[in-house]
Amino acid sequence: MIWDEEFETLPREALEALQLKRLSATVERVYTTVPFYRKKFEVCGVKPADLKSLKDLARFPFTTKIDLRDNYPFGLFSAPLEQVVRIHASSGTTGKPTVVGYTRRDINTWSELMARSLSAAGVQKTDIIHNAYGYGLFTGGLGIHYGAEKLGASVIPISGGNTKRQIVIMQDFGSTVLTCTPSYALFLAEMAAEMGVDVKKLKLRVGVFGAEPWSEKMRAEIEKKLPIQALDIYGLSEVIGPGVSIECLEGRRGLHIFEDHFIPEIINPETEEVLPYGEKGELVFTTITKEAFPLIRYRTRDISTLYPELCRCGRTHVRMERVSGRSDDMLIIRGVNVFPSQIESVLMNIEGVEPHYLLIVDRQGNLDTLDVQVEVNERVFSDEIKNLQFLSRRIEKEIKDLLGVNAGVKLVEPKSLQRSEGKAQRVIDKRKI
């Protein structure tokens, strides 16, 4: 279903004309109201008047998370605080939190985008949405919440945690849509089985999962353990929150970016060169309708690809490949670039292996080491030692064949790795501790 047919199906020429109009206004706005951008533009030798076409955007400087933290808390706001009705922030576990603001119009825009997103996932007014994303400073919970209300669906603001109670609520309230991280969806399925709940008797039919990278194999695992259609949603607080892009129920090949609000680019993260459609690189977004916190060429560090081909759903906006990793999450092990998602793809192809793993990177002497702890199911764990050793060696070989790095694999018993109610921790890099 298409929520806003006028804008979501705009012909390309009309869409690009709208983008240029909105982009020009945004660039003029930040140049006038945000000293950081005025100075950065001047250093790069560009002014708003230099923006004559969408291609000219590549002449303007990037914005990074470091810039956000250097201007903490409100240095990048483009609206006075009396017009800012909402403030969100990251947890700040790696330094100062990144702070984002919203005017009332921004909140309305966000709600509309989330209504679009949920509608693309097949959510209707008659649905009951079990929203297990975190509320509070995190944008996930409230983003889903206001989008659901805009759509007219019923929303249960359960947030994260208290997993057994979540299962009971889904049973008692007849939840039809589940929204949370993909790793938490698997945890919910595990908990339901542990409680003796037959998930087939739940009324769930679709899941909207995001906030962390996940693979097609993980999708298959979720759809097997929770008989639902699992869809990927993408967003980040700096850009707006969830609602930047989403898979549609009809296509499920790439996530539609709402280009009437965000201009995407793919760059080579090393050279910063803009790459053509179809090439993999780092996602960069420019917001073109935000008032309180507009961003010019924000480097997300997320790795993806853009596809311009039209989708059978009728939407004309470009699609992005599901995020396969992050340029700053990339592990360099003995000179080899390794993404956790690559190792996950190996694990998910092996029978008996559960979708719960932990990568431990360390250094012995001058050499990096990689150890992989991975859960196996009850049947495999009860096998004889020689069978477990064979499986460990097989995983080690497949990682070596794919990535060219040696990894030590340890099979651990079911449910022994720590579960997360938010983003799953997949990596411990002791070289940084």
Tokens of 267: 């760059």
Of the residues 289, 313, 329, which one is the last residue of a structural domain? 329
Q: Who contacts 77 (Cβ-Cβ below 8 Å, separation ≥6)?
A: 34, 84, 101, 292, 293
Q: Please answer whether residues 157 and 131 qualify as being in contact, where contact means their C-beta atoms are separated by less than 8 angstroms.
A: yes
Residue 73 preceded by cis peptide, ω within 30: yes
Could you tell me which residues are beta bridge partners of residue 287? 262
Nearest to 65 by CA among 263, 211, 239: 239
Residues 321 and 341 in one domain: no
Residues 226 and 241 in one domain: yes
Phi, psi of 21 (to 5 degrees): -60, -50
- Report pLDDT for 367: 77
Q: How far apart are alpha carbons 235 and 124 in whole angstroms?
A: 21
DSSP 284: E
Q: Please answer whether residues 359 and 370 qualify as being in contact, where contact means their C-beta atoms are separated by less than 8 angstroms.
A: yes
Q: Which residues of 165-175 are buried (b: 16+ CB within 10 A; e: fewer)?
A: ebbebbbeeeb
Of the residues 276, 311, 329, which one is the last residue of a structural domain? 329
- Report pLDDT for 422: 74
Residues 336 and 294 in one domain: no
- For residue 396, what is the domain's CATH number? 3.30.300.30
Boundaries of domain holding 399 = 331-432
Residues 378 and 312 in one domain: no
Residues 336 and 299 in one domain: no
Of the residues 275, 295, 329, which one is the last residue of a structural domain? 329
Nearest to 233 by CA among 119, 138, 146: 119
Q: Is 36 exposed, middle or buried (0-12, 13-18, 19+ CB in 10 A)?
A: middle
Residues 271 and 385 in one domain: no
- For residue 304, what is the domain's CATH number? 3.40.50.12780
Residues 200 and 349 in one domain: no
Please report, as a single letter, which amino acid is at residue 159.
S
Residues 324 and 335 in one domain: no
Q: Count of domains in the chain?
A: 2
Residues 240 and 111 in one domain: yes
Phi, psi of 215 (to 5 degrees): -105, 170
Q: Which residues of 113-124 are buried (b: 16+ CB within 10 A; e: fewer)?
A: bbbbbbbbbbbe
Residue 242 preceded by cis peptide, ω within 30: no
Residues 278 and 390 in one domain: no
Residues 323 and 346 in one domain: no
H/E element, 235: strand 229-236
In the chain (433 residues long), the average pLDDT of successive 10-residue segments reads 96 98 99 99 98 98 95 98 95 70 99 99 98 94 98 97 96 98 92 96 97 87 95 96 97 95 97 97 98 98 95 97 83 80 90 92 84 93 86 95 92 89 83 62
Q: Is 41 helix (H, G, I), strand (E, B) or coil?
A: helix
Residues 276 and 374 in one domain: no
